[in-house]
Amino acid sequence: MDKLRDIETFVAVVEAGSFAKAAEGASVSAVMIGRRVTQIEKRLGGALLERSTRRLSLTPAGEEYYRYGLDMLARVRKAERLVSDGRDYATGKLIVSCSSSFGRHHVAPHLIEFMRANPDVSVSLNLSDRVVDLMRLGYEIGIRTGPVLDANLVVIRLAPCRTVVVGTPAYLARHGVPKTLDDLAQHNCLAYNEHGGQPRGWQFQSDGQPVVVKPTGNLTSNDGAMLTRWALEGVGLAWRPEWQVARAVAAGEAVTVLDFHAVPNQDIVAVYPPQNPVPAKIRLFIAWLRTVYGQPGYWVGMDHE
C-alpha cells in the first residue's frame, strides 16, 4: 500500500505543479510531500523531477513513471468501483444474436442508450433469420420470438406476444372475413418459406389443442417484414407476430381475424447458455429490454417498416 500511496503522491505533485498545492489536497505539509517524492527517487535510483525555485518539471524517467502511475490508479479505481457496485456493474463485450426484423426495430435502436448507461460494455449485434446455435457459435445471448426448442438454454420472458392473422379492411371487404380455420383455404395466404422451400405451416389452437394449417397463396417470402408489407397493401392475409402489426391495427389500417385460435405462447424471450454466476452484462441487458418493452404503448408506437 505504501507504493500505491507513493504513486498517488507523485501524480498529485505533477498535476498540481508544486509540492505546496499537492499538500493542500492531501492535508499534509509541503515538506512531507517533498520527502515522499525524495524517498520514491531513492528507491527507484534516479531523479523523477527537476526542481527549481519557480517550477517543477519531469525528467524522462519521471514522465514514464507518471504515465504508468496514471494507468495504475485508473485500474485501481475501476477495481474499487466493481467491488463497491457489486455484481451489477457490467463490463466486457456482449455478443447478441437476433432475427433480422426484430433486431433492426426493437434491439438496435436501444443499444446506444444501454451502452451510455453501461459505459464499459461494448455490443456486437448479429442479425439472422436462422435459429443459430448460441454455444457453438460463441453468442452470449439470443433475442427470440416464439417457443424455444433447445432445452439446454436458459429462457427469460421479455414481453408477451401472440401471432395473429391480419389483413386490411379493404381486402376483407372484397373476400370476406374468415370465421373458421377451414375458411383460410378460400383466401390468399401470404406464407413464410425458407430458401424457396415449402411454405411454413400456420400454428393455431382449437379447443385447447394445437392445429397446423398449410397456407395457400400466390406469394411467399423468407422475409417476415415483406409478408407484413404485402398484407398491409391489401394483397392477402398474413400470419404475423403482434409486435409487427400492432401499430397498423391500432391505426385501423389492418384488422386481426381468427383471434380465438391464436396461439398464446409466442413470447419474446432472451436465451443464454446456463452459467453461474450470470455475467452482469447479460443480466442488465435483459433488464434493460424488459423495461423498454414494458413501456405503455411501446409496440403501438413503433414503426416496423
Instruction: Report domain extents, the chain.
Output: 2-84, 88-160+267-301, 163-261
Confidence of residue 54 (pLDDT cuts 50, 70, 90): confident
Which helix (H) or strand (E) covers residue 179, if one does? none
Tell me the three cell numbers of residue 105. Answer: 426495430
Confidence of residue 186 (pLDDT cuts 50, 70, 90): very high
Q: Do residues 121 and 94 touch, judged by C-beta distance below 8 A?
A: yes
| Cα distance between residue 236 and residue 231, in whole Å | 5
CA 226 to each of CA 65, 162, 212: distance values in angstroms, whole numbers, following the listed order: 61, 19, 22
CA distance from start to end of the chain: 59
119-155 in b/e burial notation, b at 16+ Cβ within 10 A? eebebeeeeeeeeeebeeeebbbbbbbbebeeeebee
> Which of 214 and 23 is assigned the larger pLDDT?
214
Tell me the three cell numbers of residue 143. Answer: 433475442
Taking only the tens place, the pLDDT of each residue in 134-180 is 888 889 999 998 777 788 899 999 998 888 999 999 999 999 999 99
We find that the CATH architecture of domain 2-84 is Orthogonal Bundle (1.10)
| Widest pairwise Cα distance in the chain | 97
pLDDT above 70 (res 197) = no
We find that the CATH architecture of domain 88-160+267-301 is 3-Layer(aba) Sandwich (3.40)
CA 65 to each of CA 20, 87, 141, 170: distance values in angstroms, whole numbers, following the listed order: 21, 33, 42, 76
**Domain covering 163-261 in this structure, CATH number:** 3.40.190.10
pLDDT above 70 (res 82) = no
* pLDDT computed for residue 179 by the predictor: 94
> Which of 263 and 44 is assigned the larger pLDDT?
44
Q: Determine if the pTM surpasses 0.85.
A: no
Mean pLDDT of the chain: 87
The angle that helices 2-16 and 19-26 make with each other, rounded to 10 degrees, is: 130
CA atoms 190, 195, 197, 201: torsion sign: negative
Confidence of residue 1 (pLDDT cuts 50, 70, 90): very low
Domains 2-84 and 88-160+267-301 are alike in CATH topology: no
